[in-house]
Amino acid sequence: MKRFVIIGLGNFGSAMAEALTDLGHEVVALDRDEQAVDHLGDRVTQAAVGDGTEVEVLERMGAGDSDAAIICTGGDISASVLATLALRDCGVEAIYVKATSHNHARVLEKLGVRETIFPERDTAQRLARRLAAQKIVNFLDLGPGFSAQEMAVPQPWVGKSLRQLELPRNFQVSVIAIHDHLRDSFTAIPDPDAPLTDSDSLLVAGADEHLEQLERVQ
């Protein structure tokens, strides 16, 4: 179990707090809006009305003992900057901040935040990639320039094995699991000699530029 501090309980902050709680972590949430706090109060470990830019408030919430903090104040750039500084004063090293613009992100990065987040942009990019690639069933962004995709087995690959296809050599990607939709089962360590079927999909990981090559396989 990890401990997270979340500042700002708008749509993004509330969703983040609930998601981390559902994953079994301890979540301390803070917002100036009493209604927002009341709405989330019974879903997290602790929720309080307060100013996340004040060191004293963060210390009372135990921010210094947290594994990470997420600042979700959105369009209030000054509040996110001051909250970052306050968390730094509390000794929090891993700070993630929702940014609203490139310049906003640049300021935050100068302050040493672990990562700036653009929820709407990131969601739009993931959806766009899924819609543009008909073979892609699911898409997971693993980091800059690297992702995992669940893709339907292309027709030319049906009946062939992973050993025959030599995907690491030919496409510089790795198959980390196979989803058999007929049986609705996953094989985490695929048999390299088992023939692929048209009811299979492959969970493939690699650099984005290499994964894009798979989309052109007819």
Give the distance from CA 98 to its chain's centroid: 13
User: Which pair of tokens denotes residue 141?
Assistant: 């962004």
Q: Which CATH number belongs to the domain containing residue 158 in this structure?
A: 3.30.70.1450
The string of pLDDT tens digits covering residues 90-124 is: 999 999 999 989 999 999 999 999 999 998 887 77
Pair (136, 152) in one structural domain: yes
Q: Which CATH number belongs to the domain containing residue 107 in this structure?
A: 3.40.50.720
Pair (17, 104) in one structural domain: yes
Torsion of CA 171, 168, 145, 12, to 10 degrees: 110
The answer for 204, left when phi > 0, alpha when psi is -120 to 50, beta otherwise, is beta
Pair (103, 169) in one structural domain: no
Pair (136, 169) in one structural domain: yes
Give the distance from CA 50 to its chain's centroid: 27
Q: Is the dihedral of CA 188, 191, 196, 198 positive or negative?
A: negative
Q: Does the predicted TM-score (pTM) go above 0.75?
A: no
**pLDDT for the residue numbered 129:** 58
The better pLDDT of the pair 88, 154 is held by: 88
pLDDT of 1 > 60? The answer is yes
Torsion of CA 89, 94, 100, 102, to 10 degrees: 100
Domain range enclosing 201 = 123-214
pLDDT of 136 > 60? The answer is no
**pLDDT for the residue numbered 208:** 84
**pLDDT for the residue numbered 121:** 82
The string of pLDDT tens digits covering residues 180-207 is: 877 778 888 899 999 998 888 899 999 9
Total count of domains within the chain: 2
